[in-house]
Every structure is written in structure tokens, then in C-alpha cells.
Amino acid sequence: MPDLPEIPSIPLLASPLPPAPAIALPTAAAHPEQLLSDVASLPTLPGVYRYFDAQGGVLYVGKANNLKKRVSSYFQKNHGGTRIGHMVSKIARLETTVVRSEAEALLLENNLIKTLNPKYNILFRDDKSYPYLKISAPGLAPVSGKPGADQFPRVSYYRGAVEKKHHYFGPYPSAWAVKEAILLMQKVFRLRTCEDPVFNNRSRPCLLYQIKRCSAPCVGHTTVADYAQDQANAERFLHGDAQQVMKALEDRMMAHADRLEFEQAAELRNQVAALSNVLHQQSVDNVADRDVDILAVKVSGGRACVNLAMVRGGRHLGDRPYFPVQVPDDSGLDVEDDGLPEESSPELTDDRSAAPKVLKRSVESQVLDAFVAQHYLNVPVPPSLVVSAPVDKGLLQALTAQTGIRVGAVHQPREQRRVWLEMAQTNAGLQLARLLAEEGSQQARTRALSEALDVMPDSLDELRIECFDISHTAGESTQASCVVFHHHKMQNAEYRRYKINDITPGDDYAAMRQVLLRRYGKLSEALAQAKQSGATPPGTGRMPDLVLVDGGRGQVSMARAVFEQLGLELALIVGVEKGEGRRIGLEELVFADGRDKVYLGKDSAALMLVAQIRDEAHRFAITGMRAARARVRMDGGRLEEIPGIGPKRRARLLQRFGGVRGVAMASADDIASVEGISPALAEEIYRALH
């Protein structure tokens, strides 16, 4: 995507317009006077606005043709208990950026949504890049000797930034789709998939040649010219020119037959048969569309699913579901509303059976608009979109201006497009039903745990659990982990590892004390200051509703001592004690506030959730410990990073002790016996490795 032009942010207090009189707002008492004054002094220009809460967190990012009218609409009526009402009640500050057009506002809005992750926007979080099929570029012909790997381009799976010199096809919705395409390139065109070092060192054909999946260019069973012809046909096929490729192969086959070259004609006959079979199986021989994305949206149970199906080169490659974090309600503030009805019409399409209609933007259309705007920021947009709900015409125009490709959307398709859309709608419904079933099960577990432990947050969705575990190998490379459960699922981005130092190796109690002090020390101070001043400083975190520690009475007693020292509530601490024989399902819960131990039962939904969180903390701790241990054993804890250790002293240490593991096992006196290592430096090395 081309970089957006740098758009200056206009300070609200430096607005060129004279300040307007304060507007009478029903919720004025709930908002700072400065905020209301800023709203009243907004310019009547297009731009992007951002709402912030009292802690500085971003609540919402929106765009407007008329900033003053749009932003004022949030404060001029009571939105009740809707999602917008909850958001408006939290607004403490706003910022705006004036732009030159609606298209710039659309692009800037969705760039900010992707980078700021505002809580109340329809946000599609997907950090995975799409895979591509890559055909490497041919190299220069060698001066002498047999052709090398560079002369025979390789077909491979690829994910990452593309390079101009190679040829990329896609993107594909999944790795499976790419691998299917590679298998097709092997079956029909017999292109190589081996790495260059393998190619350059082959002395006889591999198994792929025996099963007719490769033409064995590594040992000279095909010429550079013939392989280049197969590569060109493969690329034309991937671009959608299947029938032209078929005709070219048939012409070559007949030419060989006329020259009585029956072996070559038979090879081409087999290739034509394989390609014909592929075209028949995938039903792409009568499809006019080359590159199309099919977008179907389904909304149910307060959740939404956008199912994206991809057609590339006339072939349906599969689909991929996306689930927004937020789903809009019917308050009407999620769409641009300047007092005029919005148009939704088939844009740039051959299917003109439906006349343009004037209608209010539906929830499905809002979700689809958000997906299109965010998804195609980083992914090439095809010229045709087939959609299950109308897409905003201004958004399509912005995509056209951004990409230079005339983008059209078909809302009510016919023929093959309708078949594709119906498939996508069916898959969207199935994926959403699966998600609701999984979330229902997870929410039931959260509710069961909340009731079993008498933990009642304001909202069950806000229940936050943090779990700690300690891992080491006989005291070596001690690591502590903290994993977070929030919004009914594990929050991987909030996981933390702590390297434990300055304790007796193997002392799990001291390790637990250290990690709890480091985790909650500063937070307890901030909460104490907030209690005295009556205001919470910006950026202050929140205490979890429950703190799980992997261990019995000993670990819980240590956690209790830390919480007493920090002045925190003891009822938050719960230990997970292994049952008889350390068997799963027999765990008991130990409390720091003096309550008796509790056994929830083997089939308890609450115990299943506790075990899930505990096991995740253990996994996260042990992987960190193993990585730290490997670093120590493989490179001696990075010997050269120790002050005073350079390449020469490092080489002497490794030579003396037979490797870095030997250095790590040596005593300080033994290390000091090495030439050039003083007793003080030996002590420093020993401490660094232990």
C-alpha cells in the first residue's frame, strides 16, 4: 500500500474558527468542561476523530465529512445502555486530524484502527500474513559446464515480503491451498521443488522423478528450453489462461507426432490429460472471472463472522473466516450520518438486476465496510468483490484511488458468482455457530469458577485471572511465568517471563516471592497513591480478580507473605495443589485467607478452567527455562558479553574446559587458573553463568 500523505493534526485550541457557545448536552455533568468546549469549537471540515478515556486509552476512532456535526451527535442525546452509550460515558478527551477529502479520512481512520486497537471499533485482529506460491527468477546461463539450479526456477511455498525479481501468485487463504497448487505444478508441469544445494549435488534422479512429479533437470533429463516452456505454461495457468495453455500443449503434441517423435508426443499427451482432469475437477473451464474475492457476513448472538473466499486465475482456492472483536448495535453512530440517507448500489458490475436503493446502513454492511477497509490495507485488492451486503460506495472509490485498480462490488450476483456467494454464506454460518458453541462452553467454565470461588466481578467478561509457575532444572536457569486469562480466553500478548536471580538454586519459594514482588510491587504503590489522592494516574494497571499459583500450602504461604507486605487482599490468592498420585482431575484448591481446601470434582467445569490456566503457565515457564538453559549450555551465557572477556580469553576458556558447558560447570578457582583470567574476573564469569 502506498504511504499516506502526511496530514497535519490541527490542535483543537488553535482552531481558526471563533469558539461557538457551549452546547446544551444532557450528559454535560458527566464530562469535563474542557471536552465540551473542544466539541463546540470543532471545525466543519472532513477529518478523523479519536476518543480517549481518563487513563489515556483509545476508545474509538472515527471519520467524518463534518467533524463538528458528527462529534456533537454523540453528546446531544442519551444513548442508554447501548455499546455507544457505554463508550460515551467513558470519554474524557478527544483529538482530531483534519484531512482534505473523505477518501483520505477513510484511509487514515483504518490505519489508526489497525495501529491503536481502539476498544469500541469493529476491529479485525489478524497478524498472520498470507502465503504465496513463489516461482524463483531464472539466473544467468553458466559460462561452461552443466546448467545449475539458477537455470531451472523452483516452485515453493512462501510467506513474507515479496521481491520484484521473483514471481509470486496469490495470496492464498491457507497454507493448504498453496501446497495443493504446488502439487498441481508438479503433476501437470513437473516443476522442481527441491532446494538449490540439493539440486546442485544430485547424481541421480530422486523419487519425484520416478513418480512423474519432476522432470529431473538436476541430472539433465530435460533441457533449459523445455523447462522454461513448462514454467511459462505454469505461470499462464496460474494467471487463468488455462484454455490457451491446453491448446498450446495440444499443438506441440501434434507437431511431435507429425515428426514421428512419439515419445515426446506421449509426454505431452500425459500432460494434456493431467491438465484436462484438473480443469474438470475444479470447474474452471467456463468461468470468466480471473481474480475475485467473495465476502459473506453473518451476525448472530452478539458476534459476527466474515468469510473470505478467494478466486485466483479462475480457480476457487478456499476460504478463511474472520471474527471482529466488536459488533455494532443499531444506534446509528457507527456510520457516517450527515442527515442524508446513504446510497447502496451495485458498483462497477455486470449484474444490474437490482436498482439503486436508499437504505440505512445495516449491521452487516457496517461489519463488511470495516473488514474491507482494514483487510485491504496490507493485501492486494482484486478488481471484483462479491459481497453479501452492500459496501459503502465511498470506500470503493477510496480503494480505487489508493491502488490504481478500479474496484467494484457485486451485491446480488448471478450464475457462478451466486454459487460462490452461497458457499461463502454457508461457511460463514457454520464458522459462527462453531465460535458461539466454543465461547458458550468457555463462558460456562468462567461462570462456574466465579461461582465456586465466590469471585463476582462487575461483568463476567471482565474476570481477570493471572497464574504463576516456576521452572528450572536442578536449580539451573530458573524462570517464572505469568499467564493471563481475560475475556474468557488466554491473552497471549499479556504473558510475561521473569528471569530469577540472586536466590539459592532450586529454592522455589524464594523464586515465587521474587516474581510476585516484581509483578505487583509497583502496582500496589500506584493503587495506594490513587486511594489517597482519589484519582488513578494514567497508565495504571489493574489487579486481577484471582491469582493462581502452581503449588500447595508452601507456595500459598509465600504468596500470602508478599501480599501482606504489599497491602493487597489475601482472598485473591488460590493455590493449585496436585492431588493423590499427582493425577489430573484430583487437584485441590488452597486459599491464602484461611478457608479450607476445596476439591471441585473431576468433572467440574471450574476445575477444567483452573487446570487449563495452570497447564498454560507451566508450558510457558518450561519453554522459557529450556531456552535459557540452552543458551547457557551452547554459548556459555554469551561469554563475550561479560565485561573483560574478548575473543582471545573466550578461546582460552573453551580450550581449557572443552566447551562452554565445561566452563559453566567449573568453579571460580578453576576459571582463575586459565592464563589471562584474574580471580576477580573469574568470580564475575562464575556469577554470570550461574
The DSSP secondary structure of 180-218, one letter per residue, reads HHHHHIIIII----S-HHHHHT-SS--HHHHTTS---GG
One domain for residues 305 and 395? yes
* CATH code, 467: 3.30.420.340
One domain for residues 572 and 608? yes
State yes or no: pLDDT of 69 exceeds 80: yes
Helix (H, G, I), strand (E, B) or coil at 170: coil
d(CA 308, CA 324): 13
One domain for residues 367 and 313? yes
Which pLDDT score is estimated for 498?
A: 92
Mean pLDDT of the 598-614 span: 86
State yes or no: pLDDT of 40 exceeds 50: yes
One domain for residues 106 and 223? no
One domain for residues 110 and 222? no
Distances (CA, A) of 79 to 24, 38, 54, 63, 329: 16, 21, 20, 20, 11
One domain for residues 172 and 187? yes
Which pLDDT score is estimated for 450?
A: 87
Give the residue with greater pLDDT, 512 vs 357: 512
Mean pLDDT of the 104-109 span: 82
Per-residue pLDDT band at 462 (split at 50, 70, 90): confident
State yes or no: pLDDT of 109 exceeds 80: yes
Give the residue with greater pLDDT, 130 vs 631: 130
The answer to the question of residue 3 being in a domain is: no
State yes or no: pLDDT of 393 exceeds 80: yes
Minimum mean pLDDT range among 21-30, 123-132, 438-447: 21-30
Minimum mean pLDDT range among 113-117, 139-143, 235-239, 676-680: 139-143
Distances (CA, A) of 456 to 270, 561, 608: 69, 24, 19
Minimum mean pLDDT range among 22-26, 190-194, 202-206, 632-636: 22-26
d(CA 264, CA 256): 6
Nearest to 228 by CA among 143, 132, 134, 150: 150
**CB distance 439 to 461 below 8 Å:** no
Mean pLDDT of the 505-520 span: 90
Per-residue pLDDT band at 169 (split at 50, 70, 90): confident
Which pLDDT score is estimated for 484?
A: 94
Which pLDDT score is estimated for 248?
A: 75
Per-residue pLDDT band at 348 (split at 50, 70, 90): very low
Which pLDDT score is estimated for 127?
A: 53
Which pLDDT score is estimated for 115?
A: 81
Per-residue pLDDT band at 133 (split at 50, 70, 90): confident
**CB distance 133 to 315 below 8 Å:** no
* CATH code, 102: 3.40.1440.10
One domain for residues 317 and 417? yes
One domain for residues 80 and 182? no
Tell me, yes or no, if the pTM score tops 0.95: no
Which pLDDT score is estimated for 563?
A: 92
Tell me the residue range of the domain where 378 lies: 292-433
- Average of per-residue pLDDT values in the chain: 79
Which pLDDT score is estimated for 620?
A: 92
Written as nine digits, the cell of 640 is 563475550
Could you read off the pLDDT of 5-34 as tens digits, one per residue?
444 444 433 334 344 444 444 444 467 788
Burial 35-56 (b: 16+ CB within 10 A, else e): bbebbbbbbebbbbbbbbbeee
Which pLDDT score is estimated for 279?
A: 55
The answer to the question of residue 445 being in a domain is: no
Q: Which long-range contacts (CB under 8 A, 24 or more apart) does 486-491 make?
A: 486/462, 487/461, 487/462, 488/439, 488/442, 488/443, 488/446, 488/461, 489/442, 490/612, 490/613, 490/616
d(CA 408, CA 423): 20
Nearest to 65 by CA among 29, 99, 16: 99
One domain for residues 490 and 613? yes
Rg of the chain on CA atoms, in Å: 32
Written as nine digits, the cell of 333 is 453512530
Which pLDDT score is estimated for 330?
A: 57
Give the residue with greater pLDDT, 572 vs 586: 572
The answer to the question of residue 586 being in a domain is: yes
Question: What residues are paired with 591 via a beta bridge?
Answer: 574
Give the residue with greater pLDDT, 554 vs 124: 554
Mean pLDDT of the 530-541 span: 66
324 CB-near residues (< 8 Å, 6+ apart): 122, 123, 124, 304, 306, 367, 370, 371
Mean pLDDT of the 294-310 span: 89
The DSSP secondary structure of 81-130, one letter per residue, reads TSHHHHHHHH--EEEEEE-SSHHHHHHHHHHHHHHH--TTS------PPP
The answer to the question of residue 122 being in a domain is: no
Total count of domains within the chain: 5
Q: Which of 433, 449, 484 is the last residue of a domain?
A: 433
Which pLDDT score is estimated for 360?
A: 61
One domain for residues 429 and 301? yes
* CATH code, 419: 3.30.420
Could you read off the pLDDT of 174-200 as tens digits, one per residue?
888 888 888 878 878 888 888 888 888
Per-residue pLDDT band at 125 (split at 50, 70, 90): low
Per-residue pLDDT band at 512 (split at 50, 70, 90): very high
Q: Which of 262, 282, 302 is the last residue of a domain?
A: 282
Could you read off the pLDDT of 251-279 as tens digits, one per residue?
778 877 777 877 777 777 777 776 666 55
One domain for residues 507 and 589? yes
The answer to the question of residue 143 being in a domain is: no
State yes or no: pLDDT of 298 exceeds 70: yes
One domain for residues 368 and 317? yes
The answer to the question of residue 125 being in a domain is: no
**CB distance 156 to 186 below 8 Å:** no
The answer to the question of residue 442 being in a domain is: no
The answer to the question of residue 126 being in a domain is: no
Minimum mean pLDDT range among 194-198, 397-401, 417-421, 637-641: 637-641
**CB distance 593 to 570 below 8 Å:** yes
* CATH code, 652: 1.10.150.20
Mean pLDDT of the 274-296 span: 65
State yes or no: pLDDT of 573 exceeds 80: yes
Nearest to 328 by CA among 367, 301, 360: 367
Which pLDDT score is estimated for 38?
A: 85
Mean pLDDT of the 352-356 span: 39
Which pLDDT score is estimated for 439?
A: 76
